[in-house]
Amino acid sequence: MDAESIKWIGHASFIVECGSQVLAIDPFRIEATPEKGADIVLVTHPHFDHCSKDDIRKVAGRDAVIVAPQGCIEEDAGFKVEISRPGFKKAFGEVVVKAVPAYNIKPERLSYHPKAKGWVGYVIEYKGSRLYHAGDTDAIPEMKELGEMDYALLPIGGTYTMGVDEAIKAAETIAAKHAVPMHYKNLLGKEGSEAAESKFTSKVEGALVMSEIQKPTYSF
């Protein structure tokens, strides 16, 4: 797993290629069907910009498995579903998927992503490489327990998740080889996004700002 195998669609949406297996994470506003459908679709929580059934249908391959917390995707929606929660772990061929906690701890955000909901981020392991998609979260204590990480995809937009200053501290805690900011352009606008990227890259060793494969919208 390297930077070339990780594609940022936009917002919190990514495609991750693990050899012949393709994973999609939180697909949202998909403009075109990918050449190869995803074998695994990971959903972090049921908010519309992370759990979009229409977008899941666009990216999912014929036999795709949808891994999502309770209340996101129903079995009768026509998908093969694995219910995830913090502590979930399953191997899909050579890819191992682990679900880890994702929640807010800041008082002003507690209503957005309560810990009690059991919503998640994911750790993807493939042939010794490890990638962490944080989901919608603040900088939480569980980040200290993630272990060695090659890539950490971290929200930096504030309002609903940690902002850039909190994300910088989270990146220091996780100490991944590469920290990748996400979930901010729709919230911060063009100038705010550029400022956040500049601050993040100047403060985080190994920071990597990815280019979106779709044109950013800068608004919902």
3-203 CATH pick, 3.40.50.300, 3.10.20.30, 2.40.70.10, 3.60.15.10: 3.60.15.10
Give counts: helices (H), strands (E), the chain. Answer: 3, 12
Q: Where are the beta strands (DSSP E) in the chain?
A: 6-10, 13-18, 21-25, 38-42, 60-69, 80-84, 89-92, 95-101, 120-126, 129-133, 151-155, 178-182
Q: Give the model confidence (pLDDT) of 33-79 as tens digits.
A: 777 899 999 999 999 999 999 999 999 998 999 999 999 987 666 78
Q: Which pLDDT score, from 0 to 100, does residue 216 have? A: 65
Q: Give the count of beta carbons closer than 10 Å to the beta carbon of residue 45.
A: 25
Q: Which residue has the higher pLDDT, 195 or 78?
A: 195
The pLDDT of residue 88 is 97
The set of residues, in sequence order, having a beta carbon less than 8 Å from that of 133 and lying 6+ positions away, is 12, 14, 25, 26, 42, 44, 121, 122, 124, 153
The pTM for the full model equals 0.95
All residues at 6 or more sequence positions from 166 whose CB lies less than 8 Å from its CB, including other chains: 138, 139
Domain boundaries, the chain: 3-203
